[in-house]
Copies of this chain bind each other. A is one copy, B any other.
Amino acid sequence: MTIASITLYRQWQPFRDGTYTCSGGRSAEGFDSTIVEITSHDGAKGYGEMAPLGSFYDPAFAEGARAAMRELAPRLIGEDAAGIESLNRRMDLLLKGHPYAKAGIDMALWDLAGKRGGLSLAAMAGGAEGTAIPLYRSLAQESPDAMAARARKYIAEGYHRLQVKVGLDVNDDIARLETVRAAVPSGTVLFCDANGSWGTAETRRFLQATRALDYTLEQPCGS
């Protein structure tokens, strides 16, 4: 079962709620997704995807991923599609790093192998665990009251997990968490995400001030 062709599709996936604004004047309006389609010589097809959130969160930006795939794809044509580990080693030899680009191809290879055996990807990896996973909503940085109002709205819609965006002035951030925590039921799971915007001093103050609250802190300090 050799690889007959690899096709990349670019797909724009706009956000349902429009522009999403982060700290530092960064914003995004949707996902610039790349769909990878691998076709084997017998016509079977496997699909993978690579869809970064804007270009500011991590090294995986959309054009770079497509550039890497364009570099890699022609050198995989004619290889055995079932040798997935071997193909990954080959990709590493051709291009160091850029795992986000290789992941889209790897995903399509596993999908192709599963389809050929009539197995889902979950079955290939040891079986699915349940039939659903809980979703969560993110509360963008607004005033504490505005964030609490939005939190109550999400709770009313049935969400039980919320992410509180912080990372500006730490005194305001403390108020953000306190206000939201007080606005939601005690069973609600709260994450607090600073996207690495604080230094260690701000982080220490935030932890001290909020140590009586029930939440989990995500990425307080940038690298």
Q: Count of A residues near B, CB < 8 Å?
A: 51
Q: Give complex CA distance A214, B205 in Å.
A: 8
Tell me the bound Cα distance from A24 to B92 in angstroms.
11
Residue A64 is within 8 A (CB to CB) of chain B in the complex: yes
Residues from chain B with a CB closer than 8 A to the CB of A59 are 95-98
The one of B55, B67, B82 that contacts A123, using a Cβ cutoff of 8 Å = B82
Residue of B nearest to A211 (CB): B208
Of all chain B residues, which has the CB nearest A88? B126
How far apart are A167's CB and chain B's nearest CB, in angstroms?
A: 13
Q: Does A63 contact B (CB under 8 A)?
A: yes
A146 is an interface residue with CB less than 8 A from chain B = no
Q: What's the least CB distance linking A83 to chain B, in Å? A: 4
A15 at the interface (CB under 8 A from B): no
Q: Which A residues, 111 to 159, have Cβ-Cβ distances below 8 Å to chain B?
A: 113-114, 116-119, 123-129
Q: For residue A67, which residues in chain B have a CB less than 8 angstroms away from its CB? A: 61, 63-64, 66-67
Contact with B along A81-102 (1 / 0, CB 8 A): 0111111100001111110000
* Interface membership of A80, Cβ < 8 A: yes
Q: Are B171 and A84 in contact (CB under 8 A)?
A: no
> Is A77 among interface residues, defined by CB-CB distance under 8 A?
no
Which chain B residues border A126 with CB–CB below 8 Å?
A: 83-86, 88
Q: Is the beta-carbon distance between B94 and A55 smaller than 8 angstroms?
A: yes
Give the shortest distance, in Å, between A79 (CB) and chain B (any CB). 10
C-alpha gap A127/B85 in the complex (Å): 7
A84 to B122, CA, bound (A): 10
A113 neighbours in B (Cβ, 8 Å): 119, 123
The answer to whether A94 touches B171 (Cβ under 8 A) is no
In the complex, A182 has a CB within 8 A of chain B:
no
Docked complex Cα distance between A88 and B125 (Å): 13
Task: Report chain B residues within 8 Å CB of A171.
Answer: 186-187
A97 touches B58 (CB 8 A): yes
